[in-house]
Structure 1
Amino acid sequence: MKISTKGRYGLTIMMELAANFGEGPTSLKSIAEKHQLSEHYLEQLVAPLRNSGLVRSIRGAYGGYVLSKEADKITAGDIIRVLEGPISPVDFEEEDDPAKRDLWLRIRNSIADVLDSTTLAHLVNYQDEGKYENYMFYI
């Protein structure tokens, strides 16, 4: 399973709303400018997030979007499922081999566990702590 720009940019929107939680609505224009993204594309992404109840829209000159609940109550899994659909590396109905089916199920469950245990609050407050600075990548 590969997360598309829908999932990645949707997560960006939600992280910005989480970072500004309690400070009033955040406009998509400000998010688009900050991350150099298309405002029009973000508008397409925020609609399903609003329809699913993850965000609320505030109308008016100082309007925008706010999270519908606190950042520690919304997981990355909630967002990805709304924007990308079910989490699945393959179509399980097509798999006849029980060993391979078990592998695909374990992969799906591992991905779901990570997404469902990672909240917006965790993402917004994430500290790298040098975990990846010692890796050298060669191409």
Structure 2
Amino acid sequence: MKISTKGRYGLTIMIELAKKFGEGPVPLKSIAKANDLSEHYLEQIVSPLRNAGLVKSIRGAYGGYVLAREPKAITSGDIIRVLEGPLQLVEGIEDEEPAKRELWIRIRNAIKNVLENTTLDDLAKHSDDNSAEEGYMFYI
């Protein structure tokens, strides 16, 4: 499984909203500018996040987006599933011989465990930690 730019930028949007949680709506324009991303592309990504109930849009001159729940109540898995679909490493796993099938299942479960146990709160706090020399790097 390879996480596309859609998933990566979706996490970026959600982390930025988590860092500003409780401070009011955040315009996509400011997220795009701060992360050197296309505002138009972020608009396409935020739509499924809104439809899934992860973010709310606020209209008006001081509008933007806010998280629909607290950052500690949203996992990275919630976001990735909305933007990338279900986690599937290998197609036709049921046709694999038992030893290989067990390996693929164990890898899938390990990835699911990381995604389900890493909240937006964790990611937002980590991104604010200036003492860390390296950020989270997920290779899947």
TM-score normalised according to structure 1 size = 0.89
Kindly state the Cα deviation for residue 92 of structure 1 after the two structures are TM-superposed: 3.5
Query: 2:83 aligned with 1:60, yes or no?
Result: no
Q: Which residue of 1 aligns with 2:41?
A: 41
Q: Which residue of 1 aligns with 2:88?
A: 88
Q: Secondary structure at the match of 2:69?
A: coil
What whole-Å deviation, never above 9, does each CA across 1:15-38 have from its counterpart, x for those lacking one?
000000111000100000010100
Q: Which residue of 1 aligns with 2:20?
A: 20
* Closer, same or farther: CA 108–69 of 1 in aligned 2, 3 Å: same
Q: Secondary structure at the match of 2:57?
A: strand
Would you say the 8 A contact 1:92–1:101 is kept in 2? no
Q: Secondary structure at the match of 2:65?
A: strand
Would you say the 8 A contact 1:11–1:76 is kept in 2? yes
Q: Which residue of 2 aligns with 1:137?
A: none
Q: Which has the larger radius of gyration?
A: 1
Would you say the 8 A contact 2:16–2:31 is kept in 1? yes
How many angstroms apart in 1 are the aligned matches of 2:96 and 2:132?
44
Please tell me the residue identity of whatever aligns with 1:28. Answer: L
What whole-Å deviation, never above 9, does each CA across 1:84-103 have from its counterpart, x for those lacking one?
00112111446331211111
In structure 1, stretches of 5+ residues that fail to align are 133-139
How many angstroms apart in 2 are the aligned matches of 1:131 and 1:104?
32
In structure 2, stretches of 5+ residues that fail to align are 135-140
Please tell me the residue identity of whatever aligns with 2:118. Answer: T
Query: 2:75 aligned with 1:75, yes or no?
Result: yes
How many angstroms apart in 1 are the aligned matches of 2:62 and 2:132?
39
Q: Which residue of 2 aligns with 1:3?
A: 3
What whole-Å deviation, never above 9, does each CA across 1:68-112 have from its counterpart, x for those lacking one?
010000000000000000112111446331211111111111000
What's the Cα RMSD here? 1.6
Would you say the 8 A contact 2:93–2:101 is kept in 1? no
What is the total number of aligned residue pairs between the two structures? 132
